[in-house]
Amino acid sequence: MNQWTEDLISVDLAETLDGLFIQRIKRSPERLAYRSYNRASKSWQDYSWREMGGLIARWQEALSKEHLKPGDRVALSLRNSPEWVAFDQACLGLGLVVVPLYTDDRPDNIAYILDDADVKLLLVQDGGRWKRLAEAIGKESSLQRILLQDAGADDAALLAIDDRLRSVDDTLPANAPPLLQRRGNPHGLASIVYTSGTTGRPKGVMLSHHNMLSIAHASITVIDCYQEDCFLSFLPLSHTLERTAGYYLPVMTGSSVAYSRSVGQLAEDLTLMRPTVMIAVPRIFERVYGRITDQMAKRPALPRKLFKLAVETGWRRFQRDQGRLGWRPSLLFWPILNRLVASKVTARLGGRLRIAVSGGAALSPEIAQLFIGLGIPILQGYGLTETSPVVSVNPLEDNDPGSVGVPLRGVEVATGQDDELLVRGPGVMLGYWNNHAATAKMIDSEGWLHTGDQARIENNHIYITGRIKDILVLSNGEKVPPGDMELAIALDPLVEQVMVVGEGKPFLSALVVMEADNWPGFAQDCGLDPMSRESLRHPQVVSAVLQRIKLALKHFPGYAKIRRVTLQLEPWTVDNGLLTPTLKIKRARVMRHFAREIESMYSDGPAQGKP
């Protein structure tokens, strides 16, 4: 790329999220907006901003006939695609409130969200997914219309038996009047994003147009983005980080977005699309890191030494560029190490990546050092759905991977009682949908949002030091309340005590103390000797316990799943130091006591299913 050009749309000019898109169409109608894989033709398809405007207009024409009024809630459960964007923009342009859903969430959890938000219209990917949802949702729901994006020949019978169902192909008109920018309220409700909290049921985070617009714009003040940038999108658009930073921000900057076919095809899509910007959660970097280290372990001694030297030299070079270390003679070897080692890794990521943002959960220092050492500029950030979501991110020129970056322009941060990180600014949510008590608990009378994270602030950088809230954050950024899960699991008479673990991990596991009186009969039913400790590790026992846990957690969000368990018979007591005098589990002590068992549960991937 020889030239980088800026073409930013201001928040004031955009006014609303739909206004932002209309301004982009006016600015650069023929430039590339999106690139997506067409599964029917088995080819990549390009969309200009003008073509996207036409698709949005057709959606608005169709939706205008559905007897919806401004403020009504509509939902979508769709793969990342231009269709996701078109539906979102059409709804926002009509003053509707968009409720994004995860495509892999459990049907009963989606049913709860649809009911809680009183959703009138739902766009779902295909008939197969609707079949799985239909039983949980039922006929008595508030849904007036269900649209199938990819309705096939096999769905004819499905469409015939439910008059609420229609295919998108039969719904969208061939043409529609041009889009016009409405004068909507920038501070009006744009979306309700459901996120897990301290209860089993998710809470609806209310975000305004201005919330997400202001954070997208503030992000550009820390990290420059250009018309020539290509974003690779693979985090679900229902994830607020992807939606604000990977969707609204590129519209603001005029950058293009390529939609990856799937996480499984991500490696191939990286080399095909050759992105310059990538936004991910730590789990993605963990997977690449795991593949690299596994491959290097199988190589001869000399390549392993070269790889290690390249990472160490590249890291020192990074530190010098950041002004933290002086020059060393070893830096003279970087050009050859880059050619022999680092460039081969960066080529597998497309060879043009200039920014890789990691957010949603903490990134391991070892992983950050490896990628940065190989010349891949990972920038760690921090935020919550409740802050639209970005609070801070590391700038390229002042990147401290041990921190979560500097606050965005206009975002205030402070530390309160117990060093809790407090946030105030234009991205702070309007509140929780239908939950004033939870809103008042989260946002105080002075407008400070209480994050539940402990932090220190040095040299304008934020360093997360711990958690006040009893919430586990998985490496994909999902937040899970272990206390509520443990209460549900402990209702099983077979379970005496339980502790859910998984902070920073790709999936949840549990340490379980079996109830002494019920264990013998359970073991014998499995055809095993209850007196043998080996029976606690027998696959049949482990599988049966995991099945019971799954049943106990049926009302929790789909990502709140236990993948592995370690079973034991010795109870945790005050005497052995694992319980407090009030009989509460000492989590840190239990973690240390069972460190080896916990490590074993994560040593070679999940035992049951996939993370």
Please write the tens of the pLDDT for every residue from 452-496: 988 999 999 999 987 776 778 888 888 787 877 887 888 788 998
Is 512 part of any domain?
Answer: yes
Tell me, yes or no, whether 501 lies in a domain: yes
d(CA 322, CA 318): 6
Ranges 51-60, 188-197, 214-223, 578-587: which has the least confidence: 578-587
pLDDT in the model for residue 2: 62
pLDDT exceeds cutoff 60 at 608: no
Q: Quick one: tokens of 445? A: 């009378």
Per the structure block, which two tokens stand in for 293? Answer: 């280290």
- Position 196 confidence tier, pLDDT thresholds 50, 70, 90: low
Which of 344-348, 481-485, 573-577 has the highest mean predicted lDDT (pLDDT)? 344-348
Alpha-carbon distance of 140 to 497, in angstroms, equals: 39
Give the largest Cα separation in the chain, rounded. 76
Contact 171, 151 (CB under 8 A): no
For residue 243, what are the CA distances in angstroms to 9, 48, 502? Answer: 17, 19, 26
pLDDT at residue 581, as a whole number: 52
Q: What is the pLDDT of residues 264-275, one digit of tens each?
A: 899 999 999 999
**φ/ψ bin of 339: left (φ > 0), alpha (ψ from -120 to 50), beta (otherwise):** alpha
Indicate whether 567 belongs to any domain. Answer: yes
Name the domain count of the chain.
Answer: 1
Say how many Å lie between the first and final Cα of the chain, rounded. 38
Residue 111 per-residue DSSP state: H
Judge whether 422 lies within some domain.
Answer: no
Note the pLDDT of residue 198: 37
Report the phi/psi class of residue 14: left, alpha or beta, with left for phi > 0 and alpha for psi in -120 to 50. alpha
Asked if residue 97 lies in contact with residue 52, where contact means CB atoms within 8 angstroms, the answer is: no
Cα–Cα nearest to 509, from 609, 592, 606 = 606
- pLDDT (mean) for 437-450: 96
Q: What is the pLDDT of residue 604?
A: 63
Q: Residue 292: its pLDDT value, please?
A: 87
**Domain, as residue range, for 509:** 481-601
- Cβ atoms 528, 535 nearer than 8 A: yes
Kindly state the average pLDDT of the residues 507-524: 93
Q: Which helix (H) or strand (E) holds 82?
A: helix 82-93
What's the rounded Cα separation, in Å, for the pair 6 and 471? Answer: 40
What is the average pLDDT across 327-339?
94
- DSSP output for 190-255: EEEEEE--SSSS-EEEEEEHHHHHHHHHHHHTTS---TT-EEEE-S-TTSHHHHIIIIIHHHHHT-
Is 80 exceeded by the pLDDT of residue 135?
yes
pLDDT in tens, 298-329: 899 999 999 999 999 999 999 999 999 999 99
Per-residue pLDDT, 536 = 94
Please state, in angstroms and rounded to a whole number, the distance separating the CA atoms of residues 569 and 511.
11
- Judging by DSSP bridges, how do beta strands 230-233 and 277-280 pair with one another? parallel
pLDDT band at 583 (very low <50, low <70, confident <90, very high): low
Grade residue 611 by pLDDT with cuts at 50, 70 and 90: very low
Which conformational region is residue 504 in: left (phi greater than 0), alpha (psi within -120 to 50 degrees), or beta?
A: left
SS3 assignment, position 143 = coil
Which residues does residue 228 pair with via DSSP β-bridges, in sequence order?
none
- 167 - beta bridge partners? 148
Q: Where are the alpha helices (DSSP H) in 417-538?
A: 436-442, 482-489, 519-525
pLDDT in tens, 372-398: 999 999 999 999 999 999 999 999 999
- Work out the burial of residue 31: count CB atoms within 10 Å of its CB; fewer than 13 is exposed, 13-18 middle, 19 or more buried: middle
DSSP letter assigned to residue 341: I
Q: How many CA atoms lie within 13 A of 345 on its CB side?
A: 25
Torsion, CA 594, CA 598, CA 600, CA 603, rounded to 10: -150
- Closest C-alpha among 554, 456, 593, 567 to residue 136: 554
Look at residue 255 in the predicted model and tell me its pLDDT. Answer: 98
Q: Is 200 a residue whose pLDDT tops 60? A: no
Mean of the per-residue pLDDT values of the chain = 92
Is position 198 within any domain? no
Is 526 contained in some domain?
yes
**pLDDT for position 473:** 84
Span 73-79, mean pLDDT? 97
Domain CATH code at residue 542: 3.30.300.30
Q: Is 495 inside a domain boundary? A: yes
DSSP-based three-state secondary structure for 563: strand
Under a CB-based contact definition with an 8 Å cutoff, are residues 193 and 208 in contact?
A: no
Quick one: pLDDT at residue 609?
Answer: 38
User: Which is higher by pLDDT, 433 or 469?
Assistant: 433
Backbone torsion region of residue 77, taken as left when φ is above 0, otherwise alpha when ψ lies between -120 and 50, otherwise beta? beta
Percent of residues, the chain, with pLDDT higher than 70: 97
Look at residue 71 and tell me if it is in a domain: no
Residue 197: the pLDDT is 44
* DSSP summary character for residue 547: H
3-state secondary structure of 576: coil
Query: Rounded distance, CA 355 to CA 546, Å?
Result: 40
pTM: 0.82
3-state helix, strand, coil in the chain (%, to 5): 40, 20, 40
Give percent above pLDDT 90 in the chain.
75
Angle of helix 301-321 relative to helix 282-297, nearest 10 degrees?
140
What pLDDT is stored for residue 606 in this prediction?
Answer: 45
Neighbours of 339 (CB within 10 A): 11
